[in-house]
Amino acid sequence: MTASTTDTSHTTNQTKSGMQFCPKCASALEERILEGKVRQACTTCDFVFYRDPKPVAGVLAFKDEKLLLIQRGNEPKLGLWSFPTGYVDIGDTPAETAVREAKEEADVDVELDRLLGVYSNDSRTVVLIIYVGRIIAGTPAGRAEALDARLFALDALPELAFDHDYHILEDLVCSNADPHQTERPINKQI
């Protein structure tokens, strides 16, 4: 073991990328403590693989005071309900992604009104960027990765797929006390 190599057998899978070889020189990667975190680094050229979270954007879209939810067609949480969300692609803004995902998953056009918040925690591989908006065209229908899409009253929601969905809805309810609120939960832990 070199001086920069440390026993990391106690680390979780969250630190592992699944990569075994350096993308620059094809030598083996090993885990090292760098910058206070377990990271994979090349044994030959010292390339460091930074496993960064992927941005995901979504929208809490309303029509007639009812919230749009999609029924998930994929694991994890197949069959449960959540908001339309998706990965932010290179060249897209989070806002464009939120609008696109509503169309792809629920067949509706939405207009974004405001940013609700940015959500993450140290064990997630994504950063959620959630907007509030309204449906301006279309009738909700399941498409792409959604089995179904429907509008629900906030007091009559089905079981939601993820714990963070409930936290996001709590933020929505709190922010609706003043619909013109300018303070946003930035990088809230969920």
DSSP for residue 160: B
3: pLDDT strictly greater than 50: no
pTM over 0.75? The answer is yes
Those residues whose C-beta lies under 8 Å from the C-beta of residue 102, and which sit 6 or more positions away, are 59, 61, 68, 84, 108, 109, 110, 133, 135
* List of domains in the chain: 13-49 (2.20.70), 54-189 (3.90.79.10)
Query: Per-residue pLDDT tens for 161-184?
Result: 999 999 999 999 998 755 444 444
Query: Per-residue pLDDT tens for 89-140?
Result: 999 999 999 999 999 999 999 999 999 999 997 777 899 999 999 999 999 9
Query: Per-residue pLDDT tens for 50-97?
Result: 888 999 999 999 999 999 999 999 999 999 999 999 999 999 999 999
* φ, ψ (nearest 5 deg) of residue 171: -65, -40
Share of the chain above pLDDT 90, in %: 72
Burial class (CB in 10 A: 0-12, 13-18, 19+), 33: middle
